[in-house]
Structure 1
Amino acid sequence: MRIRIRILVAAATLSLLQACGGGDDDATPAPAAAPYKTLSGAAPLVIGHRGASGELPEHTLAAYERAIARGADFIEPDLVLTKDGVMIARHEPMLDDTTDVATQFDASRKTTKLVDGVSTTAYFASDFTLAEIRTLRAKQARAGRSTAFDGLYEIPTLAEVINLAQTEGAKAGRSVGIYPEIKHSTFHKGLFGANVFEDKLLATLHPIYGNSASAPVFIQSFEVSNLQYLRTKTKIRLVQLIDADDVKDDGSMSLVAPYRQPYDFVVSGDTRQFSDLLTSSGLDFVKTYADAIGPWKPYLVKTVNDQVDRNGDGRITINDRRVDGSTGVIEMAHAKGLMVHTWTFRDDASGYGFADPKAEMQYYMKLGVDGVFTDFPATGVVALKGL
């Protein structure tokens, strides 16, 4: 009787295991699919491009604060140096388009300098002390955006941007990272000496964030040799930016100077173009010094001109191109251990093949990008939540 009971119990147990999908070999359930196709499986980052620059003048504390309030994970200060060597947040070394410098200083303060091989006459930050910069006020630089806030905000230093990120992050109960870009490293090298800019940046970052790959910091540059130098000095994550000037009718990238190559390549005689850094061998090269790539978004998707007015503006332009999936750059970069952060998404400028800015960002997020730069962080947050 006891033997029969044991047999019945064993049979029942076997039946239960079979109903659940099998025996010991597959008793452990299959792992759930990662919710995101990013390198780490974590949610893609929303990066406030020059702050919430779609709402307020770029690179101001007000724009950065707005980006944080909108939910940005990181805020991006582009950096240039003043005459006395202070890092300030400006998109370019030239102050003309983003400040009221022309109303504050006589035209005699303009100078002519070579910027990435282009002779440029302007008011340069490097010709003004920080005390003089403090007298300036920011203005809207992008056509079609509100000028109601022109003249209200000062030009901040990197130290002030960091303080804001930490203070506002603490108020929000979350970490807010910074994503500084070293602007025109070769240009600044000619003015201040080799790696002075890079050393100043690390001298500011290390005491605050530590020399750590886990710090909420990315350092980005369109040049290469400065990132290679930084790799020997810091564990903070580095990002190689990849530029182009336009997209051709056939969907290929247009590469015309000064957007053809990293400018330090031009100076050194290296013939590689930006696009070469996105090949398999190019990514292997980038991996020797960087943790991520930052390509302009058209590098990441295939586009086709099928003569459909997708954005409804009554014209057929490059912005109406149909998007037909990934070019493979994201997947190849991930396979080599590189993150992919792409730029720039704007509510008031239709992206290639998209009329809806939220849908555009979602498309790239679904492909697996690890971060998106956007002038409108609120839209980026909504896009992420809607995946």
Structure 2
Amino acid sequence: MKSILLFLTVITLFSCDKMKPKSEKMSKKVVIAHRGASGYLPEHTMEAKAMAHAMNVDFIEQDLVLSKDDVPIVIHDIYLDDVTDVVTKFAERKRKDGRFYVIDFTFEELKTLQATERFNPKTGEQFYKKRFPKGLGNFKLHSLEEELQLIKGLNKSKGKNIGIYPEIKEPEFHKKEGKKLTEIVLKILSDYGYKTKTDNCILQCFDAKELERIRKELKSELFLVQLMEFPEETKQLTHFATYADGIGPWYKLILSEIVDEKHTFTSLVSDAHQLGLKVHPYTFRADQLAEFSSFEEMMQVLLIEANVDGAFTDFPDLMVDFLDN
């Protein structure tokens, strides 16, 4: 009888030991609310950020562009005319290329605009047709500081520790305009307590020279992620690892061909992991699936089978539920 009990105990412990790494591994995958809960509310609005916070994400993203008076504005692009009503309120302020630039407006002027669901500025057609209807609601642009106050306040009132994931947008454009976007952003982050890798802030940028400058010249100790868009960038991982802590690749850089009706993968994730880099691909959208039959399949293939460390998603609640279950 004792030998049987011993055998059962060993089997139980062995089974628990096999299950434990899987559980720990899953819990480490982070959910990043891409522009907030942008699948449900207009991107980068305070309402989208509050909704994302309520969905128990790990990080909330902030894309950052400077205003004329050097206020970091949370908006995806340097342009205004595809997410606001700037054309109707400041028609004379367009540049020679016909576009309206955030950097040409003061913060107070930007606050007068109505933010809305993303649309084609030439046709006026909403980009994601099944999302929050364009033109409805009373949404506004806001500053980085306003969003940090919101997140810190919600963390306090809800007893959470949800992090931030800011992006330095178009640093070369800002430099040509005589602006120091990066330095201004780093100062604000530091003022709000985001200084080191333990402060629940991940700073990202597509511009590799600028991200390297942030680490080596500006001496930032934040967790840095190098964003990647093109296949040729996958050959630069060793260099990225000299200053960055992770990479944020377009998810298609992870996928290879389909063999026997199953997705296969490039070596990007394994190569990054060997260099000690985390991998946070973008962007998981339930309404833009391309290579996948369902959002569940997309998450299963990339989060689990490809073994990435987390992901950017417009539908953070779906990813949180997927990982929890």
* TM-score after normalising by structure 2: 0.87
Are 1:74 and 1:179, in contact at CA under 8 Å, matched by a contact in 2? yes
What is the CA-CA distance between 1:60 and the residue it aligns to? 0.4
**1:133 match:** 110
**2:175 match:** 189
Letter of the 2:168 partner, please give it: I
Letter of the 1:126 partner, please give it: I
* Superimposed CA distance per residue, residues 93-144 of structure 1 (whole angstroms, 9 cap, x where no aligned partner): 11000011111112x20013xxxxxxx4311011000010010111110330
Letter of the 1:109 partner, please give it: R
Q: How has the CA–CA distance of structure 1 residues 305 and 177 changed in structure 2, closer, same or farther, with 3 Å as cutoff?
A: same
1:241 aligned onto 2:227 = yes
Once residues 194 and 103 of structure 2 are traced to their aligned partners in structure 1, the CA distance between those partners, rounded to angstroms, is 29
What is the CA-CA distance between 1:331 and the residue it aligns to? 1.2
* Superimposed CA distance per residue, residues 302-324 of structure 1 (whole angstroms, 9 cap, x where no aligned partner): 23399xxxxxxxxxxxxxxx552
SS at the partner of 1:240?
A: strand
**1:301 match:** 255
Q: How has the CA–CA distance of structure 1 residues 203 and 355 changed in structure 2, closer, same or farther, with 3 Å as cutoff?
A: same
**2:301 match:** 363
* TM-score after normalising by structure 1: 0.74
Letter of the 1:73 partner, please give it: D
Q: How has the CA–CA distance of structure 1 residues 210 and 373 changed in structure 2, closer, same or farther, with 3 Å as cutoff?
A: closer
Q: How has the CA–CA distance of structure 1 residues 105 and 356 changed in structure 2, closer, same or farther, with 3 Å as cutoff?
A: same
**1:275 match:** 231
**1:122 match:** 99
What is the CA-CA distance between 1:153 and the residue it aligns to? 1.0
After TM superposition, which residue ranges in structure 1, 4 or more long, deviate above 4 angstroms?
18-22, 27-33
**2:49 match:** 64
Are 1:359 and 1:383, in contact at CA under 8 Å, matched by a contact in 2? no
Once residues 17 and 237 of structure 2 are traced to their aligned partners in structure 1, the CA distance between those partners, rounded to angstroms, is 30
1:289 aligned onto 2:243 = yes
* Superimposed CA distance per residue, residues 338-378 of structure 1 (whole angstroms, 9 cap, x where no aligned partner): 000011111111242x2221331132111221111111111
* Superimposed CA distance per residue, residues 193-232 of structure 1 (whole angstroms, 9 cap, x where no aligned partner): 4xx1111111011122242111111111111111011103
Letter of the 1:64 partner, please give it: K
**Count of residue pairs the alignment pairs up:** 310
SS at the partner of 1:77?
A: strand
Stretches of structure 1 lacking an aligned partner (at least 5 in a row)? 1-12, 113-119, 244-273, 307-321
Are 1:137 and 1:150, in contact at CA under 8 Å, matched by a contact in 2? no
What is the CA-CA distance between 1:148 and the residue it aligns to? 5.8
* Superimposed CA distance per residue, residues 282-319 of structure 1 (whole angstroms, 9 cap, x where no aligned partner): 2110001111100000111223399xxxxxxxxxxxxx
Are 1:57 and 1:149, in contact at CA under 8 Å, matched by a contact in 2? no
Are 1:138 and 1:150, in contact at CA under 8 Å, matched by a contact in 2? no
Letter of the 1:48 partner, please give it: A
Alignment of 1:1-387 (within 5 A): 32=18, 34-35=21-22, 42-106=27-91, 108-112=92-96, 120-141=97-118, 142-144=127-129, 145-147=131-133, 150-193=136-179, 196-232=180-216, 233-243=219-229, 274-279=230-235, 282-304=236-258, 323-352=262-291, 354-366=292-304, 367-386=306-325
SS at the partner of 1:76?
A: strand
What is the CA-CA distance between 1:170 and the residue it aligns to? 2.3
Larger radius of gyration: 1
CA RMSD after TM alignment: 2.7
SS at the partner of 1:178?
A: strand
Are 2:64 and 2:169, in contact at CA under 8 Å, matched by a contact in 1? yes
Q: How has the CA–CA distance of structure 1 residues 110 and 338 changed in structure 2, closer, same or farther, with 3 Å as cutoff?
A: same
Q: How has the CA–CA distance of structure 1 residues 211 and 143 changed in structure 2, closer, same or farther, with 3 Å as cutoff?
A: closer
SS at the partner of 2:188?
A: helix
Once residues 303 and 128 of structure 2 are traced to their aligned partners in structure 1, the CA distance between those partners, rounded to angstroms, is 28
**1:249 match:** none
What is the CA-CA distance between 1:383 and the residue it aligns to? 1.3
Once residues 277 and 209 of structure 1 are traced to their aligned partners in structure 2, the CA distance between those partners, rounded to angstroms, is 32
Identity among equivalent positions (%) equals: 35
Once residues 161 and 205 of structure 2 are traced to their aligned partners in structure 1, the CA distance between those partners, rounded to angstroms, is 23
SS at the partner of 1:56?
A: coil
Letter of the 2:83 partner, please give it: T
Once residues 178 and 323 of structure 2 are traced to their aligned partners in structure 1, the CA distance between those partners, rounded to angstroms, is 42
Once residues 170 and 222 of structure 1 are traced to their aligned partners in structure 2, the CA distance between those partners, rounded to angstroms, is 32
Q: How has the CA–CA distance of structure 1 residues 210 and 69 changed in structure 2, closer, same or farther, with 3 Å as cutoff?
A: closer
Letter of the 2:258 partner, please give it: V
Are 2:35 and 2:61, in contact at CA under 8 Å, matched by a contact in 1? yes
What is the CA-CA distance between 1:66 and the residue it aligns to? 0.8
